[in-house]
Amino acid sequence: MHKVSISPVTRANAVGTATVYVEEGKVVEAESGASIFKGFEIIMAERDPWDAPYLTQRICGICSSAHALASCLALEAIAGAEPPPNGILLRNIIFGLDLLQNHIRHFYMLGLWDWASPPDRFPFKGGYTKGFRFSSKETEQLRQGYWQAADQSRLAHEALTLLGGKVPHQHGIVPGGATLFPEKHVREELRRRLQKIRVFVEKVYLPDALLLQSRYKDYLSLGVRKSGFLSSGCFPLSKGKGHHFPAGVLLDDGVEAVGLNGISESLEHSWFQGEGGDPWVEESVPDPNREGAYSWVKAPRYRETACEGGPLARRLLQGEGPRRSSTMDRIVARAREALKVARLLEVWLDELMPGKPARVSFKIPASGRGVGAVDAMRGPLSHWVTLKGGRISSYQIITPSAWNFSPRDGKGRPGPVEEALVGTPVEDVKEPIEVGRILRSFDPCYSCAAHVVDRTRGEAKLLQV
């Protein structure tokens, strides 16, 4: 049996590690790990709740607006406040643009070199040399797509800046709605950029994703998972309850509504002390020397099931496409979602109502607790906030990458990525290109993945170290 480690896993947001055990040319066991721990939840304690949306964005450079959104939803839940329709639309536009930036960047700038041979110069040279199936003409076309994607993802961020002031870590999403209602000329600027991005997704991104699928059909049966798909719902409706992409969980026996008390976390293979349990009451203390542990990510489960989140899970929960989860399904679902969102963004822009407020002002109560759950680009994201005496007393974050890249739980059940990696043929253990293909189809974000529940006692112990 060969042990194959990939560390650092590059072309991801921050770096992670992956270890696979290969026997007779196939992966028999896999460990997905995050190698950097931040302790952001600990940092959030004692702060003013108004700081949470801006500060928690700093967890992640590629999905910052999703954290702002989840944080606002949690504070609004505590206060019982609800943003006006304009506020919801504007937040959807901000997050939608960030999602487009992410999906475009992911396919080309992060994922492409798993499939197409990269140019022979820095920063692309020196990697794997075989396993590429595109003709030289197709490779050239995809490389051009790469530079176009650099431009288009920038354009999406530029459009976001018109509403958010800057990005990453935009300022437009605040408790109660959005800060700016764009005037007519700004809306026209937005529309111009949106059209360009939509055309790129239609004419370049989606066709390239389908070309990839046609050359790598075998990846429709590699990186496969059977069950456990979760979404917190994406893009809240501006009228009424619910989301454009509905929340739900797809288990063996079909789709059901998400209940927060179905979520638990296990610490068995994570560098923390203790056993885990209910996210509200759980305590954890870092322990980098824990036996059997191999990740800073904890293992969230929904009713004991490891769940996958992201564009494919959202697609399945919308009842679209065959109920199947593979490497290629994930990649193509991401491209299809980009097109859908690009089209929706133009609709939302039209639905904005000039003269109506973009934000409702409200007071955040001195104490209380609330959850803000929303789907980020990669899957379900939830912020669990408890306030006491006007300050944050505890702040917990369960990220999409904690779901997708979770290690084994207390009963030894693998996380979604680990599950998907088992059975993957590895032709050459010195060039395990197949592993990265499957990992990246989940769009890893290691900077989000690692997190710890903050509890006062845990924190005190931590400080003694």
Partner 1 sequence: MADVLNSTRENRQKFAGKPSLSPGIIWLGTNTCDGNIISTMNTFRPSLQEVLEDFDFYYSSMIMAPEGESASEKWRLPQVQKGAFILVVEGTVPTAYAGKTAVVGQVNGQNITALELVKELGTLARWVVAAGVCASFGGPYAAYPNPTGSVAVSKVLNRPVINVPGCPVNPRWVLETLYYLKEKGAPELDPLGRPRFLYKDTVHSRCEFLPLFEAGIFAQEIGQKGCTYLLGCKGPSTRADCPVRLWNDEKSAWNVGVNSICIGCTSPEFPDQVAPFFKHETDLYFKPKRINLDSLALGTAAFTLAGIGAHLAGKVLTGRVKLGSKKPVPTLSLVRKGFKKLKDSKK
405 binds partner 1 (CB under 8 A): no
- The answer to whether 442 and 415 have CB atoms below 8 angstroms apart is no
Minimum CB–partner distance for residue 350 and partner 1 (Å): 21
Among 21, 28, 29, 58, binds partner 1 (CB under 8 A): 58
Of residues 419 through 448, those in contact with partner 1 by CB under 8 A are 432, 436, 447
State yes or no: residue 1 binds partner 1 (CB under 8 A): no
Amino acid sitting at position 430: K
Residue 393 C-beta: closest distance to partner 1, Å: 14
CB of 438 to partner 1, least distance (A): 13
Name the segment binding partner 1 (CB under 8 A); options: 9-17, 250-258, 324-332, 338-346: 9-17
Please tell me whether residue 459 binds partner 1 under the rule CB under 8 A. yes
Query: What does each C-alpha distance from 34 to 4, 13, 269, 299, 349 come to in angstroms?
Result: 16, 11, 12, 12, 38
Q: Does 60 bind partner 1 (CB under 8 A)?
A: yes
d(CA 336, CA 331): 9
* Tokens (6 digits) for 205: 């991104």
Contact track, partner 1, 190-229, x by CB under 8 A: ----------------------------------------
Candidates 21, 26, 28, 54; binder of partner 1 (CB under 8 A) is 54
Q: Which is nearer to partner 1, 306 or 377 (CB)?
A: 377
What DSSP character marks residue 247?
-
Q: Does residue number 55 form part of the binding site for partner 1 (CB under 8 A)?
A: yes
Least distance to partner 1 from the beta carbon of 9, Å? 6
Nearer to partner 1 (CB atom), residue 21 or residue 124: 124
Helix (H) / strand (E) containing 19: strand 16-23
d(CA 106, CA 458): 36
Find the binding residues for partner 1 in span 344-363 (CB under 8 A): 358-359, 361
Which residue in 177, 248, 276, 380 binds partner 1 (CB under 8 A)?
177
Contact flags string 273-292 toward partner 1, x per CB under 8 A: -------------x-x----
15 binds partner 1 (CB under 8 A): yes
Q: Which of residues 72-131 bind partner 1 (CB under 8 A)?
A: 105, 109-110, 113, 118, 121-128
43 binds partner 1 (CB under 8 A): yes
3-state secondary structure of 434: helix
Residues 6+ apart with CB under 8 A from 368: 78, 79, 386, 387
- Which residue in the set 47, 192, 323, 411 belongs to the binding site for partner 1 (CB under 8 A)? 47
From the list 93, 244, 245, the residue with the least C-alpha distance to 156 is: 93
Which one of 157-165, 300-308, 309-317, 322-330 is the stretch in contact with partner 1 (CB under 8 A)? 157-165
Alpha-carbon torsion (193, 346, 98, 353), positive or negative: positive
Q: Which stretch binds partner 1 (CB under 8 A): 51-59, 319-327, 334-342, 365-373?
A: 51-59
Which own/partner pairs from 256-260 qualify as long-range (CB within 8 Å, at least 24 positions apart)?
A: 258/230, 258/231, 258/232, 258/302, 258/373, 260/371, 260/373, 260/382
Q: Across 228-359, where does the E strand assignment appear?
A: 229-231, 234-236, 243-245, 248-251, 254-256, 263-266, 276-277, 299-302
Span from 10-18, 219-227, 302-310, 324-332 in contact with partner 1 (CB under 8 A):
10-18
Among 162, 206, 374, 381, binds partner 1 (CB under 8 A): 162
255: which strand partners? 250
Query: Whose Cβ is closer to partner 1: residue 147's or residue 218's?
Result: 147
DSSP one-letter string for 124-166:
T-SS--S-----HHHHHHHHHHHHHHHHHHHHHHHHHHHHHSS
CB nearer to partner 1: give 46 or 278: 46
| Pairing between β-strand 391-398 and β-strand 379-388 as defined by DSSP bridges | antiparallel
Cα distance between residue 112 and residue 106, in whole Å = 8
